[in-house]
């Protein structure tokens, strides 16, 4: 590391690594193997000062003198930066608050923590002048948060929509290509190692909802937490839904959708939601297969932007962590700070029921005169306008496929509930929200 200038306080940047699992082990490896490159890029040597893991005795591959099970003590020791790759909220929140209060910068991939506690973390960072970076927390390797926080800071973002969970995208892509049901596809995903032992956070949409909260907060300069995000997972997606989507030239994706919504009186609010959506097969997000992520951003001046790449995995996620670490080191060298939390807009978060959405509804109905009129009347009673109706005759029943115009989600739900109770409706085959024009 000859010739590298030291940090502002005259020495190498000392890094505490909390967690050395899938992501942490890749960070440790790359940081050690490429130490000279990091020193050159950061403007100061970057030194691994300690590694906290749950069981140090299980890590013969790591230098024993660096290992500890006491993360809290490592945070309090003589380190400049804490890289947190443990996950979870307790005790991680305490460690990171302790680091920030002591003026130590934090780099984390922990979306669950950020989606609930960014405000506290950002306030602690501001009080001490430390940095808080978290590029790896959403869409792994894909540079997305820095573009939102910095490159687009001069624009007005209207929408961020995308595939931010690899596990569910893998499952839905496989259901689309094989026609198989959800349960058997989840088993296959587990067998191949894509789904975790406990896949709940992924398949029930918690992981994507945390990421949506982070994206909405940055895009709309407003504090949005995971509990503000409407969340539906993929466990209810059936082979019938996938089949119905195919008949319409669509496919099903689990999307995080964060929008700036303007009311008739001009008041702005934010909508943040995660749920399965039918999108046209020609849509840019439809071609995103397997465990990849893709996020589509719309801004007033920039227009449409698309971010695509690997959203998970040890080495792709480590790429984002190390980029943040270099940024922190550079800030230390020149004595500056990275971007602070920007929550000045403080927009209201709109409840799902008041969010404008469009529905696809597929029904098996009795094949006789007046049925279509009865169904249409229910839509009219709820002030829901129909965009298209397709009818196909079966044996004694007919299949009706209805796509609506935009309406309040609560009105659409009420319409579906009432239609299901009509005598002439034999079966509600599929109900799902749609995005994108046909």
Cβ atoms of 413 and 419 within 8 Å: the answer is: no
Residue 186 is a binding residue for Na ion (CB under 5 A): no
Query: CB atoms < 10 A from the CB of 186, how many?
Result: 23
Question: At its nearest, how many Å lie between ligand HSE and the CB of residue 55?
Answer: 23
Cα-based distances in Å from 374 to 1, 358, 366, 423: 78, 20, 11, 10
CB under 6 A: which stretch of 84-92, 157-165, 293-301, 332-340 binds ligand NAD? 84-92
Which residue's CB is nearer to ligand HSE, number 30 or number 109? Answer: 109
Angle at 173 between CA 168 and CA 390, to 5 degrees: 110
Question: At its nearest, how many Å lie between ligand HSE and the CB of residue 291?
Answer: 7
Question: At its nearest, how many Å lie between ligand NAD and the CB of residue 213?
Answer: 14
Question: At its nearest, how many Å lie between Na ion and the CB of residue 291?
Answer: 14
Task: Scan residues 114-153 and list those touching Na ion (CB under 5 A).
Answer: 135, 139, 142, 144
Measured in residues, the chain has a length of 438
**Pairing between β-strand 46-52 and β-strand 13-18 as defined by DSSP bridges:** parallel
Decide if 394 is catalytic: no
**Catalytic choice (58, 104, 111, 211):** 211
Residue 205 is a binding residue for ligand HSE (CB under 6 A): no
| Lookup: tokens for 109 | 């991939």
Which residue's CB is nearer to ligand HSE, number 45 or number 140? Answer: 140
Which residue's CB is nearer to ligand HSE, number 45 or number 311? Answer: 311
Cβ atoms of 172 and 295 within 8 Å: the answer is: no
Residue 320 is a binding residue for ligand HSE (CB under 6 A): no
Residue 291 is a binding residue for ligand NAD (CB under 6 A): no
Question: At its nearest, how many Å lie between ligand NAD and the CB of residue 259?
Answer: 24
Which residue's CB is nearer to ligand HSE, number 140 or number 205? Answer: 140
Task: Scan residues 310-369 and list those touching ligand NAD (CB under 6 A).
Answer: 312-313, 317
Q: DSSP for 214-264?
A: HHHHHHHTS---GGGSEE--STT--HHHHHHHHHTTEEEEEEEEEEEEE-T
Residue 357 is a binding residue for ligand HSE (CB under 6 A): no
**From the list ligand NAD, Na ion, ligand HSE, none, which binds 233 (C-beta under 5 to 8 Å, kind-based)?**
none
Residue 140 is a binding residue for ligand NAD (CB under 6 A): yes
x-or-dash pattern for ligand NAD, window 44-73, by CB under 6 A? --------xxx----------------x--
Query: CB atoms < 10 A from the CB of 70, how many?
Result: 12
Q: DSSP for 47-89?
A: EEEEEE-S-GGG-TTS-GGGEES-HHHHHHSS-SEEEE-S-SS
Options 25, 105, 165, 355; binder of ligand HSE; rule CB under 6 A: 165
**In 3D, which of 22, 8, 60, 91 has the Cα closest to residue 321?**
22
| Lookup: tokens for 318 | 């480590």
For 415, half-sphere exposure in the C-beta direction (CA atoms, 13 angstrom radius) is: 31
Residues that bind ligand NAD (rule: CB under 6 A) add up to a total of 21
3-state secondary structure of 386: strand
Residues that bind ligand HSE (rule: CB under 6 A) add up to a total of 8
Residue 22 is a binding residue for ligand NAD (CB under 6 A): yes
Cβ atoms of 28 and 321 within 8 Å: the answer is: no
Residue 232 is a binding residue for ligand HSE (CB under 6 A): no
| Lookup: tokens for 107 | 């780099």
Options 84, 202, 298, 341; binder of ligand HSE; rule CB under 6 A: 202
| Lookup: tokens for 96 | 């990171």
Residue 23 is a binding residue for ligand NAD (CB under 6 A): yes
Which residue's CB is nearer to ligand HSE, number 38 or number 206? Answer: 206
**From the list Na ion, ligand NAD, ligand HSE, none, which binds 54 (C-beta under 5 to 8 Å, kind-based)?**
ligand NAD
Those residues whose C-beta lies under 8 Å from the C-beta of residue 240, and which sit 6 or more positions away, are 362, 429, 430
| 333/407 Cα distance (integer angstroms) | 53
User: Residue numbers of the site for ligand NAD (CB under 6 A)?
Assistant: 19-24, 52-54, 71, 85-87, 109-111, 136, 140, 312-313, 317
Task: Show which residues are catalytic.
Answer: 211
Footprint on this chain of ligand HSE (rule: CB under 6 A): 140, 165-167, 202, 207, 311-312
């Amino acid at each position: 590391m000859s010739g590298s200038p030291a940090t502002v306080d005259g020495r190498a940047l000392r890094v505490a690594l909390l967690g050395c699992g899938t992501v942490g082990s890749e960070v440790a490896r790359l940081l050690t193997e490429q130490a000279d490159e990091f020193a050159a890029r950061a403007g100061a040597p970057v030194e691994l000062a300690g590694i906290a893991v749950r069981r140090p005795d299980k890590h013969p591959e790591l230098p024993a003198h660096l290992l500890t099970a006491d993360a809290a003590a490592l945070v309090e020791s003589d380190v400049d930066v804490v890289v947190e790759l443990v996950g979870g909220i307790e005790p991680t929140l305490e460690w990171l608050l302790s680091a920030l209060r002591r003026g130590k910068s934090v780099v984390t991939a922990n979306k669950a923590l950020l989606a609930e506690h960014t405000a506290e973390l950002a306030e602690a960072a501001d009080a001490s002048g430390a940095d808080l970076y978290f590029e790896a927390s959403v869409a792994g390797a894909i540079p997305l948060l820095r573009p939102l926080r910095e490159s687009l800071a001069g624009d007005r973002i209207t929408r961020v929509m995308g595939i931010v969970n690899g596990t569910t995208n893998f499952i839905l892509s496989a259901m689309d290509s094989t026609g198989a049901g959800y349960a058997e596809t989840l088993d296959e995903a587990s067998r191949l190692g894509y789904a975790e032992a406990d896949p709940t956070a992924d398949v029930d949409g918690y992981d994507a909802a945390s990421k949506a909260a982070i994206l909405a907060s940055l895009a709309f300069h407003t504090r949005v937490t995971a509990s503000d995000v409407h969340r539906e997972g993929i466990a209810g997606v059936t082979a019938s839904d996938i089949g119905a989507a195919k008949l319409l030239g669509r496919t099903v994706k689990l999307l995080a959708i964060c929008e700036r919504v303007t009311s008739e009186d001009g008041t702005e609010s934010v909508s943040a939601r995660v749920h399965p959506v039918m999108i046209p097969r020609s849509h840019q997000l439809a071609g995103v297969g397997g465990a990849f992520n893709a996020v589509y951003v719309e801004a007033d001046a920039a227009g449409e932007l698309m971010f695509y790449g690997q959203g998970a995995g040890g080495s792709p996620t480590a790429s984002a962590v190390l980029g943040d670490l270099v940024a922190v080191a550079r800030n230390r060298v020149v004595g500056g700070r990275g971007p602070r939390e920007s929550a000045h807009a403080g927009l209201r978060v709109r409840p799902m029921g008041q969010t404008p959405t469009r529905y696809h509804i597929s029904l098996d109905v009795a094949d006789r005169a007046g049925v279509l009129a009865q169904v249409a009347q229910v839509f009219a009673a709820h002030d829901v306008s129909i965009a298209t109706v397709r009818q196909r005759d079966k044996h004694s029943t007919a299949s009706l496929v209805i796509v609506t115009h935009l309406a309040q989600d609560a009105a659409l739900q009420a319409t579906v509930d009432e239609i299901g109770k009509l005598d002439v409706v034999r079966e509600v085959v599929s109900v799902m929200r749609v995005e994108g024009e046909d």
